[in-house]
Amino acid sequence: MKLPLEISFEGLARSEAIEAAVTKQADKLDRYYGELMRCQVRIVSDDKHKHQGKSFAVRIDLTFPGHEIVSNRESDEDVYVALRDAFDATARQLEDAVRKMRGNVKTHAAPQP
């Protein structure tokens, strides 16, 4: 990654264990496609639904030449599950974008009249 990984916490204290988990997941993305320029991860603790316990939402902004991927729909009561799901969604989007850039997209034949 060209720029350092940016991790921000909202509504919860900074944790070295969570930062280590984020770094490990971001390294996997960087190994898949080495041209990544920037990765911002925002972890938000949402206290709106107190009867269910705390909910953690994860937003990932990933930038590489000509593209930007945003994953912001992943949330769970366990911060590590939310992180895993967010990075899995981001990895799928990255794979699709890289496949299109390399021209490895399946094409269908035009229908015959």
Q: Which residue spans within the chain are E strands per DSSP? A: 6-10, 38-46, 55-64, 67-76
Q: Which one, of 8, 88, 67, 17, lies nearest residue 40 by Cα?
A: 8
**Ranges under pLDDT 70 in the chain:** 1, 47-53, 104-108, 113
pTM of the model: 0.80
Q: All domains of the chain, ordered by start, with CATH?
A: 6-102 (3.30.160.100)
The per-residue pLDDT for 1 is: 65
Average pLDDT, the chain: 83
For residue 58, CA distances in Å to 61, 86, 88, 107 come to 10, 6, 12, 34
Helix (H, G, I), strand (E, B) or coil at 88: helix
Contact 13, 46 (CB under 8 A): no
